[in-house]
Copies of this chain bind each other. A is one copy, B any other.
Amino acid sequence: MRVLGVDPGLTRCGVGVVEGVPGRPCTLVAYYVVYTDPADELPLRLLHLDRSLTDLVAEHRPDAVAVERVFSQHNVRTVMGTAQASGVAVLAGARAGLPVTTYTPSEVKAAVTGSGQADKKQMTTMVTRLLRLAEPPKPADAADALALAICHVWRGGTRSKLAAAADQARRGGARR
Protein backbone atom coordinates (compact mmCIF):
# COMPACT_ATOMS: atom_id res chain seq x y z
CA MET A 1 0.00 0.00 0.00
CA ARG A 2 1.37 3.37 -1.02
CA VAL A 3 0.24 6.37 1.02
CA LEU A 4 0.78 10.08 0.47
CA GLY A 5 0.70 12.03 3.73
CA VAL A 6 0.12 15.78 3.92
CA ASP A 7 1.00 18.06 6.84
CA PRO A 8 -1.05 21.04 5.67
CA GLY A 9 0.27 24.58 5.85
CA LEU A 10 -0.12 27.62 3.66
CA THR A 11 3.51 28.79 3.83
CA ARG A 12 5.06 25.31 4.18
CA CYS A 13 3.10 22.18 3.32
CA GLY A 14 4.85 18.87 4.03
CA VAL A 15 4.27 15.90 1.73
CA GLY A 16 5.59 12.39 2.38
CA VAL A 17 5.11 9.21 0.36
CA VAL A 18 5.75 5.76 1.87
CA GLU A 19 4.99 2.17 0.98
CA GLY A 20 4.31 -0.70 3.32
CA VAL A 21 1.93 -3.09 5.03
CA PRO A 22 0.51 -2.95 8.59
CA GLY A 23 2.96 -3.97 11.31
CA ARG A 24 6.10 -3.97 9.17
CA PRO A 25 8.61 -1.18 8.53
CA CYS A 26 7.61 1.15 5.70
CA THR A 27 9.80 2.19 2.79
CA LEU A 28 10.39 5.82 1.93
CA VAL A 29 9.32 6.75 -1.59
CA ALA A 30 9.81 10.52 -1.51
CA TYR A 31 9.21 13.65 0.50
CA TYR A 32 8.73 17.30 -0.32
CA VAL A 33 7.83 20.63 1.18
CA VAL A 34 5.60 22.84 -0.97
CA TYR A 35 6.30 26.51 -0.22
CA THR A 36 4.06 29.45 -1.05
CA ASP A 37 5.14 33.07 -0.75
CA PRO A 38 3.38 34.93 2.11
CA ALA A 39 3.72 38.11 0.00
CA ASP A 40 1.47 36.60 -2.69
CA GLU A 41 -2.31 36.94 -2.56
CA LEU A 42 -4.32 34.04 -1.11
CA PRO A 43 -5.83 32.84 -4.43
CA LEU A 44 -2.36 32.50 -5.99
CA ARG A 45 -1.05 30.63 -2.94
CA LEU A 46 -3.96 28.16 -2.86
CA LEU A 47 -3.65 27.66 -6.61
CA HIS A 48 0.07 26.88 -6.32
CA LEU A 49 -0.60 24.46 -3.47
CA ASP A 50 -3.43 22.76 -5.39
CA ARG A 51 -1.30 22.31 -8.52
CA SER A 52 1.69 21.02 -6.56
CA LEU A 53 -0.36 18.48 -4.61
CA THR A 54 -2.31 17.40 -7.71
CA ASP A 55 1.00 16.89 -9.55
CA LEU A 56 2.51 14.88 -6.68
CA VAL A 57 -0.58 12.66 -6.47
CA ALA A 58 -0.43 12.08 -10.24
CA GLU A 59 3.30 11.35 -10.09
CA HIS A 60 3.25 8.92 -7.16
CA ARG A 61 -0.17 7.32 -7.71
CA PRO A 62 -0.80 6.54 -4.03
CA ASP A 63 -3.57 4.16 -2.95
CA ALA A 64 -4.68 6.63 -0.29
CA VAL A 65 -4.07 10.11 1.06
CA ALA A 66 -3.72 10.97 4.78
CA VAL A 67 -4.07 14.58 5.95
CA GLU A 68 -3.52 16.02 9.42
CA ARG A 69 -6.74 17.25 10.97
CA VAL A 70 -6.64 20.93 11.93
CA PHE A 71 -8.04 22.21 15.22
CA SER A 72 -9.01 25.72 16.22
CA GLN A 73 -6.70 25.31 19.24
CA HIS A 74 -3.74 25.65 16.84
CA ASN A 75 -1.85 28.95 16.54
CA VAL A 76 -4.67 31.46 16.02
CA ARG A 77 -2.62 33.69 13.72
CA THR A 78 -2.04 30.94 11.17
CA VAL A 79 -4.95 28.57 11.79
CA MET A 80 -7.18 29.96 9.03
CA GLY A 81 -4.44 29.53 6.41
CA THR A 82 -3.72 26.04 7.72
CA ALA A 83 -7.40 25.11 7.55
CA GLN A 84 -7.68 26.44 3.99
CA ALA A 85 -4.54 24.52 3.00
CA SER A 86 -5.99 21.35 4.56
CA GLY A 87 -9.20 21.85 2.56
CA VAL A 88 -7.14 22.09 -0.62
CA ALA A 89 -5.14 18.97 0.34
CA VAL A 90 -8.25 16.88 1.11
CA LEU A 91 -9.80 18.08 -2.15
CA ALA A 92 -6.70 17.22 -4.21
CA GLY A 93 -6.92 13.61 -3.00
CA ALA A 94 -10.70 13.42 -3.47
CA ARG A 95 -10.52 14.88 -6.99
CA ALA A 96 -8.06 12.13 -7.89
CA GLY A 97 -10.69 9.61 -6.76
CA LEU A 98 -8.60 8.47 -3.77
CA PRO A 99 -9.76 7.69 -0.24
CA VAL A 100 -8.69 10.55 2.03
CA THR A 101 -8.42 10.06 5.79
CA THR A 102 -7.72 12.74 8.38
CA TYR A 103 -5.81 12.04 11.61
CA THR A 104 -5.35 14.18 14.69
CA PRO A 105 -1.73 14.97 15.69
CA SER A 106 -2.21 12.73 18.78
CA GLU A 107 -3.30 9.77 16.66
CA VAL A 108 -0.20 10.13 14.48
CA LYS A 109 2.11 10.52 17.47
CA ALA A 110 0.59 7.47 19.16
CA ALA A 111 0.91 5.37 16.00
CA VAL A 112 4.54 6.29 15.40
CA THR A 113 6.01 6.73 18.92
CA GLY A 114 3.52 4.91 21.14
CA SER A 115 2.69 8.19 22.91
CA GLY A 116 0.15 10.82 21.92
CA GLN A 117 2.26 13.37 23.81
CA ALA A 118 5.52 12.88 21.87
CA ASP A 119 7.42 16.05 20.97
CA LYS A 120 8.66 17.08 17.53
CA LYS A 121 12.20 15.79 18.13
CA GLN A 122 10.96 12.36 19.22
CA MET A 123 8.70 12.18 16.16
CA THR A 124 11.56 13.01 13.80
CA THR A 125 13.79 10.42 15.51
CA MET A 126 11.15 7.71 15.14
CA VAL A 127 10.35 8.55 11.51
CA THR A 128 14.09 8.40 10.71
CA ARG A 129 14.42 5.04 12.46
CA LEU A 130 11.20 3.52 11.08
CA LEU A 131 12.12 4.39 7.50
CA ARG A 132 15.78 3.40 8.12
CA LEU A 133 17.06 6.73 6.83
CA ALA A 134 20.71 7.74 7.21
CA GLU A 135 19.64 11.25 8.29
CA PRO A 136 16.47 12.86 9.64
CA PRO A 137 14.23 14.27 6.91
CA LYS A 138 14.38 18.06 6.76
CA PRO A 139 12.58 20.32 7.28
CA ALA A 140 10.35 18.98 10.05
CA ASP A 141 7.16 19.49 7.98
CA ALA A 142 8.35 16.63 5.79
CA ALA A 143 8.89 14.37 8.84
CA ASP A 144 5.34 15.06 10.03
CA ALA A 145 3.94 14.24 6.59
CA LEU A 146 5.91 10.95 6.53
CA ALA A 147 4.59 10.14 10.03
CA LEU A 148 1.04 10.66 8.76
CA ALA A 149 1.65 8.30 5.85
CA ILE A 150 3.20 5.65 8.15
CA CYS A 151 0.26 6.03 10.56
CA HIS A 152 -2.18 5.36 7.74
CA VAL A 153 -0.29 2.31 6.44
CA TRP A 154 -0.14 0.80 9.93
CA ARG A 155 -3.78 1.39 10.58
CA GLY A 156 -4.41 -0.31 7.25
CA GLY A 157 -7.16 2.10 6.30
CA THR A 158 -9.13 0.71 9.26
CA ARG A 159 -10.24 4.13 10.29
CA SER A 160 -11.94 5.00 7.04
CA LYS A 161 -13.70 1.62 6.98
CA LEU A 162 -14.94 2.20 10.53
CA ALA A 163 -16.01 5.72 9.64
CA ALA A 164 -17.83 4.45 6.56
CA ALA A 165 -19.61 1.83 8.66
CA ALA A 166 -20.57 4.47 11.22
CA ASP A 167 -21.90 6.72 8.46
CA GLN A 168 -23.86 3.82 7.03
CA ALA A 169 -25.37 3.06 10.42
CA ARG A 170 -26.17 6.72 11.04
CA ARG A 171 -27.93 7.08 7.70
CA GLY A 172 -29.79 3.84 8.18
CA GLY A 173 -30.92 5.25 11.53
CA ALA A 174 -32.01 8.52 9.98
CA ARG A 175 -34.06 6.74 7.36
CA ARG A 176 -36.09 4.75 9.84
Q: Give chain A's interface residues, CB within 8 Å of chain B.
A: 39-44, 46-47, 50, 70-72, 76, 79-80, 83-88, 90-91, 93-95, 99-100, 102, 160, 163-164, 167, 170-171, 174
Q: How far is the CB of A19 from chain B (nearest CB, A)?
A: 22
B87 touches A47 (CB 8 A): no
Give the interface SS of chain A, mostly helix, strand, loop or mixed. Answer: helix
Beyond A39-B167, A39-B171, A46-B94, 14 additional contacts (C-beta under 8 Å) are A41-B160, A43-B100, A44-B94, A46-B90, A47-B91, A47-B95, A50-B91, A72-B80, A84-B87, A85-B87, A87-B87, A87-B88, A88-B88, A88-B91
Whole-angstrom CA separation of A174 from B170 in the bound complex? 54
Q: Are B42 and A90 in contact (CB under 8 A)?
A: yes
Residues of B within 8 A of A76 (CB): 72
CA of A50 to CA of B133, assembled, Å: 38
Pairwise interchain contact B94-A47, C-beta atoms closer than 8 A: yes
- In the bound complex, do residue A94 and residue B167 qualify as a contact, i.e. CB atoms below 8 Å apart? no
Instruction: Identify 10 residue pairs between A and B in the complex whose beta-carbon atoms are under 8 Å apart, listed by A's number.
Output: A41-B163, A42-B90, A43-B94, A43-B99, A47-B91, A47-B94, A72-B80, A83-B83, A83-B84, A84-B86
Instruction: State in angstroms the CA–CA spacing of A44 and B79 once bound together.
Output: 22
**Inter-chain contacts of A170 with B (CB < 8 A):** 39
Give A167 to B44 CA distance when docked, in angstroms: 12
Query: In angstroms, how far is the closest chain B Cβ from the Cβ of A4?
Result: 13
Pairs A-B, 10 closest by C-beta atoms:
A84-B87, A83-B83, A87-B87, A43-B94, A43-B100, A47-B94, A46-B91, A72-B76, A80-B83, A43-B90
